[in-house]
Amino acid sequence: DIQMTQSPSTLSASVGDRVTITCRASQSISRWLAWYQQKPGKAPKLLIYRASSLESGVPSRFSGSGSGTEFTLTITSLQPDDFATYYCQQYDTYPITFGQGTRLEIK
Amino acid sequence: EVQLVESGGGLVQPGGSLRLSCAASGFTFSTYWMHWVRLVPGKGLVWVSRIQSDGSTTNYADAVEGRFTISRDNAKNTLHLQMNSLRAEDTAVYYCVRSFADGNTIFDYWGQGALVTVSS
């Protein structure tokens, strides 16, 4: 199975900050990577697919980059609504695997 | 509007069985692959199973292979997950999930989740 490792596990930031979350794959997955946001008690929400394509309706302050084994999710100018847990997911090979999650908390 | 509504979760003893259902609406259910993904406490999201649009192909995570069965009724726009021989480590919130129409396993719509607790 392809292992997905996110860093950091927890990130403390303030409203208006720019933050970056990293996701590393244990083998190359080309650009077959998605990012999700999840808030407590809610279903995950798709943010980014194909490493850098923004899902419809997602604010442009979210962006993704990378290919192969290293990927990043960047949020510019953090808003109060952005404090949540973020997951990366590879869909290059079954079984589909997710990173362990990055909890973005208010500093 | 796409909607996925799970039902059937609950408390079950180890070794017991439970059947989850997911009622789909707002899209042509019979043309999409469907999945179950679980949120495991302290572990995050874990893919469980998938079923092809016509039900002809199914796949499972190793952890549930042989114990869980995914199925669908396209006439009733419903997805099911039959869970047998349940273990404590199956405790999770189970999500019914749709993947992109182009065949890529990108999860664009999720249900609200059904909590399954396996405990004596």
> Per-residue pLDDT tens for B52-90?
999 999 999 999 999 999 999 999 999 999 999 999 999
Cα(B95)–Cα(B114) distance, integer angstroms: 7
B113 in contact with A at a CB cutoff of 8 Å?
Answer: yes
Question: Looking at residues B11-38, what average pLDDT do you find?
Answer: 97
3-state helix, strand, coil in chain B (%, to 5): 5, 50, 40
Q: Which of A54, A58, A92, A96 has the highest number of chain B CBs within 10 A, making it the mutation to test binding with B?
A: A96
Q: Does pLDDT of B102 surpass 80?
A: no
Give the pair of three-digit tokens for residue A14: 């303030």
Cα(A29)–Cα(A5) distance, integer angstroms: 13
Q: Do A46 and B107 touch (CB under 8 A)?
A: yes
Give the pair of three-digit tokens for residue A46: 């798709």
Residue-level pLDDT at B66? 97
Q: Do A91 and B61 touch (CB under 8 A)?
A: no
Cis amide leading into A80 (omega within 30): no
Cα(B18)–Cα(B34) distance, integer angstroms: 19
Q: Do B108 and A55 touch (CB under 8 A)?
A: yes
Cα(B110)–Cα(A31) distance, integer angstroms: 23
Please provide the DSSP assignment of B86-99 as one string: --GGG-EEEEEEEE
pLDDT band, very low/low/confident/very high, at A54 (cuts 50, 70, 90): very high
How large a percentage of chain B has pLDDT more than 70? 100
Contacts of B95 in chain A (CB under 8 A): 43-44
Q: Please report where in the chains the tokens 């909890």 appear, as a residue.
A: A103
Contacts of A89 in chain B (CB under 8 A): 45, 107
Residue type, B19: R
Cα(B87)–Cα(B63) distance, integer angstroms: 10
Give the pair of three-digit tokens for residue B73: 């009724």
Residue-level pLDDT at B100? 86
Q: Which of B45, B46, B48, B96 has the highest number of chain A CBs within 10 A, making it the mutation to test binding with A?
A: B45
pLDDT band, very low/low/confident/very high, at A40 (cuts 50, 70, 90): very high
**Strands B78-83 vs B68-73: parallel, antiparallel or unpaired:** antiparallel
